[in-house]
A and B are shown apart, each in its own frame.
Chain A
C-alpha cells in the first residue's frame, strides 16, 4: 500500500514536471504571439495608424503686428494696435440679468440688448469687439463668470485720409482693398507656425519648438503728403457742397518723379468703420473710374501735330464761325470764331480748330500719339484694379471719330492718366509712371519703388510751346479762374457732356481742369474732375478754382523740390 503510494507520487512528480514544461511553453508561445502582434501594429500597420493619430495635431499661426502706412514725411496713415475684445459664454452664465447689468455699466451698452444676448444659450457671443483699454480693465475687474477678454488686433486710420486709396484691413488683419490689399503680403509680414497638440480636454499644448521666425510686417511709405492730402480733401468737400456734384476727384503729381502728392475724392468713407459703408464708396475713382475728358485732351493731340511738324504754332485755321460739317456730322464751337492760330485754338478751346489740326495729323498718328502719352493703357502705378481707359484705333476714313477725338470725345481716361500725360508736358516731354508708394521698409531691407522719367514722347521745345499756350489759356482764355497772383499757371479746362442713354446729354457734364505750375518750370501737375456739377458746370467755373486753391496752398506751404529747367 505504502509502496503504491510512493510509486504514484513519483509518477505524479513526473507528470507535474511535464505539465510545467507545457505551461512554460504555452506562456512563451503567448508572449511570442503578442510580440508578433506588436510588430504588426508598430512596424507593418504603423504608418496607417500613425496617420490616424495625427488628427490631434494642429498649428497655431502667430501673426506679427501689421505694418504701418506712412506719408512721405512720416505721418501715420494706418497703424495697428493690440486691443481686447469682450466675449461671453452664455451657457456658463447662470444669472444673465445681473451679468448684463454689470456689463452694461462697464461697457456703456444697452442692458436689454445684453440680457438678450446672454440668455441666448449659445456657447460663444461677442459682447464688444475692440473695447477700449479702460473698458477692458473694467470688465477684468468685474471678474464675471462666463465673460472673457480676448486679445485682438485692430487696424486704425488716425486721419481717415485717402481712404479709398489706402483701403482697409479686415477684423482679422487681412488687407481687403486698396493698398492694404496690394501690399498685404509685405504689411502682414510672415507669421510663425507653431505646431500644437490639442488634448482631449480641448486645451492647447505646445509640443515642440516650431519655426518662431516671425517677420514683422513691413512699413509702407507713401508718396502722399498728408498736409496736401488733407487740404485737398477739405477742398473737395467744400466743392461738393457748392456744386452739389456726384463725385469730385483730384490728383496732384510731381511731374519729375511721378510721386502722387495727393489723390483725393469725395464722397469718401471712414475706413475705421468700413463695415458700415456701401462697397461702392470704396472705389478709388482717380484710378478706376473713366470719363470723357473733352477739351482737357486738346493739348495732347495738338502737341503731337506740332511735334510731327504738320502744323506750326502760328499756323492759322478757319474756325468756320462755330459750325463745321464733317461728313453728315456738324461740329460746334462754344463761341463762333474766324481764323485762329494753333496757339489760340488752345487758348480759346476751339473744337473746330482742334479737329482741323487733327485732320493735318491724320487719325492713325493722332491715336498713336495719344497712346504715347499713356492714354488707353495702365500707367504702371501698380494700384489694384487700375483702369487702362478706352482708346480705340481709328482708320483714316473715320473722319468724324478723328475730329471728335481731337477735342476729347470717343475716348475714356482716368484722372490719373490725365495727370501723367500732363506731367509729360511739364517735364519737357518724357513719360512718367505715377507712383503712390515711395518705399517698403521690411525687416530684410528697404525696397524703393522705381521712379524717374521714361521714354521721350515729344521734344522739349514742343513741350515748352504747348505750356506757353496753356499759360495763355489761363491768363486770358477759358481757365482764368485758375490764375494765381504770384505764379504763372498753365492749364486747360474741359467741359464734357455725359452720355446718357446713348446720346450726349444737355444737362449732365463732367467738368475738368488739368494744370501745371509754375507754368514754365512746373513742379506740380494737378487734375481736378467734377462729375455732374449742378448750376455752373464748365471746367473753367467749377474745376479751375479748385486747382487754384490747392496750388496756392501747395506752393506756399509745401517744401516742393525746385527741379527741372526750362
Chain B
C-alpha cells in the first residue's frame, strides 16, 4: 500500500484541502466579519495572506537541505520553548482565559504552539535518528523524548492549554513508535503518564464539563453542550447533499468558532455528507501518502521528519474532525490546511514542504541510509 502512494497524491489532496478550505472559511466567516468589521471578506483576505506566506515557507522547507534542518533542530526546539514561555510574560495575549498567543510588535500575532509542534518533530527526529542503535535502552528511546515533549507541554499547561500539551505528547509517542522504540517501553510510559494526565484533566472544572458534555451533549444543550449540539445540528441539517454553498444557517452566530475549529460542521451543513467524506478522504490520502514517502526516505532522520510532519496534518485533522462530530471530547484544535488561522496554515504548509523535501530524489553519488 505505502509503496504506491507519494508526491502526486499528497500534492493533489493538500492543494484541494487548502483551496476548498479558503472557500469554506469565506462562507463560514462572512457574517461574523460583516458584524465585526463591516466587510464580509476580512477573514477571507487574512487567510489568503496566510496562504501566500505559507506557500513561501513551504517552498523554503522543501528546498533547504535536510542536513541544515537537522543541524538547526535543537536550536529550533529551544527557540520554540522560549516563545512558549514568552506567552506567559507580558508579550502574551490572553484570549478566552488562556494565554496562547504571542504578540510581536503591532499587529503580528502567532501561536507558538503551532511552531512548537514542528520544532518538537524536528528535534525528536534528530534525537531518535542519532540514537537509533540505542533505542533498546529505555532512557534513549523514551526518556529523552519524554523530556523533549514534556518540558514544552508543562509550559502549555501553564497557559493553560491542556489539549496542546496532550497533542505534543501524542506526537512524541507516535514518533518514538515509528523510530522503533519498544512497545513495552511506550506502553509502560503511557500507563505511568495516564493517571497524571487524568489528575490534570479533571483538576479544572471546565475540562470536566467538556468531558461531560461530550458524553451527553443533549443533557445541557444550551450550556456546556451548546457548541457540540450546534455542530451536530449542522451536520444533520446538511444531510447527504447539503443546503448549498453559503446557505448554511448554523454559522449565523449559532455555531461558535464556525470558521476555525468547527469549520467541518459548516462543510457538513453546506456540502453535506458528500463534502465531509471528500474532506476526510483527502486527509487520509495526505496522511498515507506522507507516510509512504517516509517509508522510502533516505535515512531515519528524513523518515522521522516526514512522519512527524504528516502527523501535523492527519493526526490533528483526525482530532479536529472527531471533536466536530462528537466522537472525541471537545478540544480546541484547528483543521490543518483548511480552517481559519494563519499560524496553523503556515505551519501546516511548512509540514507539507518538509514531506516534499524528504520525497526529493536522492542526490546522485550518495547511497544508502547514513
Residues of chain A touching chain B, judged by Cβ–Cβ distance below 8 Å, are 5, 8-9, 12-13, 15-17, 19-21, 23-24, 27-28, 30-35, 37-39, 41-43, 45-50, 52-53, 56-57, 197, 199-201, 205, 207
CA distance A302 to B184 in the complex (A): 122
Q: How distant is B12 from chain A, measured CB to nearest CB, in Å? A: 17
Q: Is the CB of A13 within 8 A of B283?
A: no
Q: Is the CB of A42 within 8 A of B314?
A: no
Q: Is B28 in contact with chain A by the CB < 8 A criterion?
A: no
Q: Known contacts A23-B174, A30-B318: does B236 contact A13 (CB below 8 Å)?
A: no
Give a binary string over B276-300; 1 marks a CB under 8 Å from any A CB, 0 the rest: 1100110110011001101100001
Which B residues lie within 8 Å of A201 (CB)?
A: 35, 253
Q: Is the CB of B273 within 8 A of A39?
A: yes
Q: How distant is A80 from chain B, measured CB to nearest CB, in Å? A: 35
Q: What is the size, in residues, of chain B's interface with A at 8 Å between Cβ atoms?
A: 54
Q: Is the CB of A41 within 8 A of B325?
A: yes
Name the contact of B280 in the complex, choosing from A34, A46, A56, A200 (C-beta under 8 A): A34
Q: Known contacts A23-B174, A49-B233: does B252 contact A200 (CB below 8 Å)?
A: yes
Q: Is the CB of A21 within 8 A of B325?
A: no
Q: How distant is B253 from chain A, measured CB to nearest CB, in Å? A: 3
Q: Is the CB of A28 within 8 A of B35?
A: no
Q: Is B112 in contact with chain A by the CB < 8 A criterion?
A: no
Which B residues lie within 8 Å of A30 (CB)?
A: 318, 322
CA distance A31 to B317 in the complex (A): 9
Q: Can you list 6 residue pairs at the A/B interface with Cβ under 8 Å?
A: A19-B180, A20-B295, A38-B235, A41-B268, A200-B252, A201-B35
Which A residues lie within 8 Å of B37 (CB)?
A: none
Which A residues lie within 8 Å of B232 (CB)?
A: 41, 49
Name the contact of B180 in the complex, choosing from A16, A31, A200 (C-beta under 8 A): A16
Q: Is the CB of A20 within 8 A of B178?
A: yes
CA distance A13 to B237 in the complex (A): 48
In B140-193, the 8 Å CB interface with A consists of: 174, 177-180
Q: Known contacts A31-B318, A35-B280, A42-B276: does B237 contact A53 (CB below 8 Å)?
A: yes
Give A10's nearest chain B residue, CB to CB: B369
Q: Known contacts A34-B325, A199-B253: does B233 contact A17 (CB below 8 Å)?
A: no
CA distance A507 to B277 in the complex (A): 93
Q: Is the CB of A50 within 8 A of B237?
A: yes
Which B residues lie within 8 Å of A37 (CB)?
A: 322, 325-327
Q: Is the CB of B31 within 8 A of A199?
A: yes
Which A residues lie within 8 Å of B31 (CB)?
A: 199
In B249-268, the 8 Å CB interface with A consists of: 249-250, 252-254, 268
Q: How distant is B168 from chain A, measured CB to nearest CB, in Å? A: 17
Q: How distant is B339 from chain A, measured CB to nearest CB, in Å? A: 16
Which A residues lie within 8 Å of B273 (CB)?
A: 38-39, 42-43
Which A residues lie within 8 Å of B327 (CB)?
A: 33-34, 37
Q: How many A-B residue pairs have CB under 8 A?
A: 148
Which A residues lie within 8 Å of B281 (CB)?
A: 31, 35
CA distance A468 to B52 in the complex (A): 107
CA distance A50 to B272 in the complex (A): 12
CA distance A46 to B273 in the complex (A): 10
Name the contact of A53 in the complex, choosing from B35, B179, B250, B272 (C-beta under 8 A): B250
Q: Is the CB of A199 within 8 A of B250?
A: no
Q: Is the CB of A42 within 8 A of B177?
A: no
Query: Looking at A28, A32, A42, which has the most chain B CB atoms within 10 Å of its CB?
Result: A42
Q: How distant is A416 from chain B, measured CB to nearest CB, in Å? A: 57
Q: Is B321 in contact with chain A by the CB < 8 A criterion?
A: yes
Q: Is the CB of A24 within 8 A of B253?
A: no
Q: How distant is A319 from chain B, measured CB to nearest CB, in Å? A: 88
Q: Is the CB of B236 within 8 A of A46?
A: yes
Q: Is the CB of A28 within 8 A of B239?
A: no
Nearest first, the 8 A-B pairs at minimum CB distance are A49-B236, A200-B253, A199-B252, A42-B273, A31-B284, A41-B235, A53-B233, A53-B237
Q: Is the CB of A20 within 8 A of B2?
A: yes
Give B268's nearest chain A residue, CB to CB: A42
Q: Is the CB of B236 within 8 A of A27?
A: no
Q: Is B307 in contact with chain A by the CB < 8 A criterion?
A: yes
Q: How distant is B220 from chain A, measured CB to nearest CB, in Å? A: 15
In B207-243, the 8 Å CB interface with A consists of: 232-240
Q: How distant is B171 from chain A, measured CB to nearest CB, in Å? A: 12
Q: Is B41 in contact with chain A by the CB < 8 A criterion?
A: no
Q: How distant is A39 from chain B, measured CB to nearest CB, in Å? A: 7
Give a binary string over B321-338; 1 marks a CB under 8 Å from any A CB, 0 the rest: 110011100000000000
CA distance A199 to B251 in the complex (A): 9
Give B233's nearest chain A residue, CB to CB: A53
CA distance A21 to B134 in the complex (A): 23
Which A residues lie within 8 Å of B321 (CB)?
A: 34
Q: Is B132 in contact with chain A by the CB < 8 A criterion?
A: yes
Q: Is the CB of A42 within 8 A of B238?
A: yes
Name the contact of A21 in the complex, choosing from B1, B174, B235 (C-beta under 8 A): B1
CA distance A50 to B235 in the complex (A): 8
CA distance A394 to B174 in the complex (A): 106
Q: Is the CB of B272 within 8 A of A42?
A: yes
Which B residues lie within 8 Å of A42 (CB)?
A: 235-236, 238-240, 268, 272-273, 276
Q: Is the CB of B314 within 8 A of A27?
A: yes
Name the contact of B287 in the complex, choosing from A8, A24, A199 (C-beta under 8 A): A24
Q: Is the CB of B276 within 8 A of A28?
A: no
CA distance A463 to B283 in the complex (A): 99
Q: Is B303 in contact with chain A by the CB < 8 A criterion?
A: yes
Give A54's nearest chain B residue, CB to CB: B237
Q: Is the CB of B300 within 8 A of A56?
A: no
Q: Is the CB of B236 within 8 A of A41?
A: yes
CA distance A205 to B248 in the complex (A): 12
